[in-house]
Structure 1
Amino acid sequence: MRFIRRRPVMIDLLVALGLCVLDLLVSWDTDRSGGLSGGVATPVYAVAGYLALVWRRRYPLAVYLVMLVHSILAYIVVPGFVPTLGVWLALYTVASRCSRLTSLCALVAAYVPTALNVADEVRRAPPAERSDAFLVSAVLGVLFTTIVFGVGRWVAWSRRQRQLVAELAAAEAVTAERNRIARDMHDIVAHSVSLMLLQAGAAAAVLTTAPASAARALQTVDTLGQQAIRELHHLLGVLDSGSSDPDATTPPNVAHIVDLVRQLSTSGVPIAFTVTGAPESVDPGVDVCAYRIAQEALTNIVKYSDVTTTAGVQVRWGHEEVVLDFRNTSNRRRRPGSHRLSTGHGLVGMRERAKAVGGRCESERLDDGTFHVVAVLPHRMPALLAGQAPAAQQSDRGRPASDPADSRPTVNAKPESSQ
């Protein structure tokens, strides 16, 4: 197949010569041409016409017209020979590469050489068999001509379908990439800005009474802002690949969830964070998915938190899955102004993220008022999903799957017994 794609002209030349020889063997009446020795003009004429097929891919309609005229003139100037196979190949090329109207006109014109062939067959048949010769040659000629046309149109339809499928796949990939970027930007901005507002409010409240605490809160705001900028740079792919800052080039992963917990703890929300089981290596797409789900879940805790809120985050490693468990006793009502930071689709986004890597994410409010979010993610994305989600892999460009050695130590911002 590679040889054919690289040398189409040579292949068409061989096909043209082969059809020419076959047409001479089938259609040439050597008796009417003066025998093989006296009919040199017929093979020369046939080869001269069939050579036009070499350019059939580049000029399908022009080559078809040449073959059509070549066949009609043969009936007039070359006794006993009406070339047909070349016309059929040219008709197939027109039907597979030209418009429907052009193809239909070519089909109608192709019946002219067919009629001449029928007339030639009837002329050669004995008088008693001419009616049968007419019927057989007419039916076969029309049938084969129509079949060639139909095959060409089917090839054209198949080509258009493949092109349409490719365009739809490209459009779906663009839409999926846009949705991924939108979800990531929502998670980054909503999480960082929520904590920044919380810290800024705390700084304003103690600015005159506890300047040192206010300064620490403002320093946290600055840190959160820089982190958000780094994540946005990584998301948009504009970071310098040669940067020496590991945090700027390393995409977020499961091991970074502890940083989110620490940020939330410094915002005044008591939270307990534990890791159970031995950390395993996971696919890059699963790594980022776990981090983004944790980011959105913790952002929701901030949105609904008050002075009585407590929270717990647990990462449970299994042999084939990693489970992220979030529990908090947050108020059912949002913190004032937090609605501006949300698209209203946070839980839906978490479910979509988990589904995209072959996992699941569920949320519910328990009878005691605790809001519970649990995400179960596989260590390895299913092959089908991995092939359909290049964007998730691209978001981790340049980084291997998470290494168990990168896992951070277990941090308890608040003792387990406090829950």
Structure 2
Amino acid sequence: MDAVSQRWRNLRVPPLLLDAVLAFVIMIINGISLSERQHGHVALTLSGTVLITAGAVFMMLRRPFPVIALALTSAVGITYTITQQAKSPIGLFMACAAYTVVMRTERRTRAVAIVSVMAVTVVAAAVYTNGELFANLMNGIVVLFGAAIGEATRYRRAYLRELEERAVRAEQSRDEEAHRRVTEERLRIAHELHDVIAHHIALINVQSGVAAHVLRTQPAEAERALALVRSGGRTVLQELTVLLGVLRRSGSPLPTAPAPSLHDLDALIKSFTAAGLKVEWNPPEALGPLPDVIELTAYRLIQESLTNVLKHAPGATAQVTITRRPGTLNLTVTDTGRGLTSAGAAVAHVGAGHGLVGMRERVAAVRGRLTTGPEPAGGFAVRATLPLETGVMSDDQGVAGGRPDADPERVPGAGELGAGPTGRR
């Protein structure tokens, strides 16, 4: 049954052929109706037959010239009413033309056309017919009926078109939303790789250089640096395993660990100190409760800033300051930048890859402010102001680079190594 219905819907019949069949059927109806005796004699006459045939021909013009077809069929119908004085369904030609006028023309045109035809039909029936006024008014009623069917069909088609357009817009919206989510996920993964792995790679690079430099003169120091390299490499492998596991098992529940916060800063700074970076850091006495996303953003900013100092300002001393003020959390990371001019420091820091871009994206995600650049007295500074209210509202860790699993942000063994040598490159 479905196959038959589908073939019927796909069948294309020429419109002219459909109109010809419809006109022939209406002619047959008129012939049968008028063949019966009315008032004791046969109502079908030669002149009446000519008018019915003309109405059929004029009705076939309804698709290319709907208004002209309605005018001509109405003229035939009114002429028939006046000359034949017989009841006839010749108004069906007028109804078909009225249907097309309603379907094909604008509101004002179709209103004027239908009202004009109705007025002329009523006047002709009232003035030129001998009795049986209601019977001769049937042509006008049939015209109204055809126009009503056309109006209903028009609204129905408009409604279906609106539904189709809504479905298309909804599909486009779903595609755009899926594309946006994919883009956000790619950006989040890029942030994770940079924030976590780049940090450890930088430490591995520094410590491997230390080991190569002191291998012959200070074997114990070289062994110490190589231990840090080995531990950092193990941590990178663990991080990659976690990230790949999340990607491969995206639909499965995975155990999660708390995202890093400002409470982990001591351990983070110890890891940099163990890698040879001197960091001046005085933990604030009390910051009070902070939104999770603000703590995570501040942690990542400090981590990235210290990583850039370690890579691009050899021999520099970094200073980390965190203060809380009404409605904001302010943090500053500066370095002395020994061995580089202000312009050189700027070039080195800007050339650090995606670090500064990632920091700007994180700060923008919580509607904060970030300023970076060389200091007048030398060195480089990163200053951020994070609004606490925005953090409360936008506590999506994915926006600020939260990670779905463990976050070993410290070089393993940093606690045992303690402060280690400072200022060594």
The letter for the 2-side match of 1:355 is A
Contact preservation (8 Å) 1:254, 1:291:
yes
Contact preservation (8 Å) 1:203, 1:215:
yes
| Aligned residue in 2 for 1:313 | 320
Which residue of the other structure, out of 295, 305, 309, is the alignment partner of 1:301? 309
Deviations 1:350-385 (A, max 9, x none): 101111233232212221123110122244546875
* SS of residue in 2 equivalent to 1:391: coil
1:322 lines up with 2:329 in the alignment: yes
Counterpart-to-counterpart distance in 1, 2:170 and 2:267: 47
1:294 positional shift: 1.9
1:283 positional shift: 4.0
* SS of residue in 2 equivalent to 1:275: coil
Q: Which runs of 5+ in 1 are unaligned?
A: 1-51, 66-71, 77-111, 400-411, 415-419
Structure-2 change in CA distance of 1:279 and 1:320 (3 Å):
same
1:170 positional shift: 1.4
Show the 5 A alignment for 1:352-363.
352-363=361-372
* SS of residue in 1 equivalent to 2:321: strand
1:275 positional shift: 2.9
Contact preservation (8 Å) 2:278, 2:317:
yes
| Aligned residue in 2 for 1:290 | 298
Q: Which runs of 5+ in 2 are unaligned?
A: 12-21, 27-92, 100-120, 122-131, 407-417, 421-425
Structure-2 change in CA distance of 1:390 and 1:201 (3 Å):
closer
Structure-2 change in CA distance of 1:160 and 1:394 (3 Å):
farther
1:369 lines up with 2:378 in the alignment: yes
The letter for the 2-side match of 1:229 is L
* SS of residue in 2 equivalent to 1:215: helix
Counterpart-to-counterpart distance in 1, 2:302 and 2:133: 87
| Aligned residue in 2 for 1:229 | 237
Deviations 1:66-103 (A, max 9, x none): xxxxxx9xx99xxxxxxxxxxxxxxxxxxxxxxxxxxx
Structure-2 change in CA distance of 1:220 and 1:206 (3 Å):
same
| Aligned residue in 2 for 1:192 | 200
Structure-2 change in CA distance of 1:384 and 1:317 (3 Å):
closer
Counterpart-to-counterpart distance in 2, 1:369 and 1:327: 10
Counterpart-to-counterpart distance in 2, 1:61 and 1:376: 68
| Aligned residue in 2 for 1:208 | 216
Structure-2 change in CA distance of 1:234 and 1:278 (3 Å):
farther
| Aligned residue in 2 for 1:36 | none
The letter for the 1-side match of 2:319 is G
1:313 positional shift: 0.8
1:258 lines up with 2:266 in the alignment: yes
Counterpart-to-counterpart distance in 2, 1:186 and 1:395: 12
1:170 lines up with 2:190 in the alignment: no
Counterpart-to-counterpart distance in 1, 2:235 and 2:388: 27
Show the 5 A alignment for 1:5-44.
none
Give the superposed CA RMSD.
4.6
1:146 lines up with 2:146 in the alignment: no
Contact preservation (8 Å) 2:200, 2:233:
yes
Q: TM-score, normalised by structure 2?
A: 0.56
Which residue of the other structure, out of 327, 347, 358, is the alignment partner of 2:356? 347
Of 213-222 and 389-398, the range deviating more from structure 2: 389-398
Structure-2 change in CA distance of 1:316 and 1:232 (3 Å):
farther
Counterpart-to-counterpart distance in 2, 1:291 and 1:235: 20
Structure-2 change in CA distance of 1:235 and 1:362 (3 Å):
farther
In our comparison, the structure showing a higher alpha carbon Rg is 2
Structure-2 change in CA distance of 1:305 and 1:257 (3 Å):
same
Q: TM-score, normalised by structure 1?
A: 0.57
Contact preservation (8 Å) 2:323, 2:330:
yes
| Aligned residue in 2 for 1:220 | 228
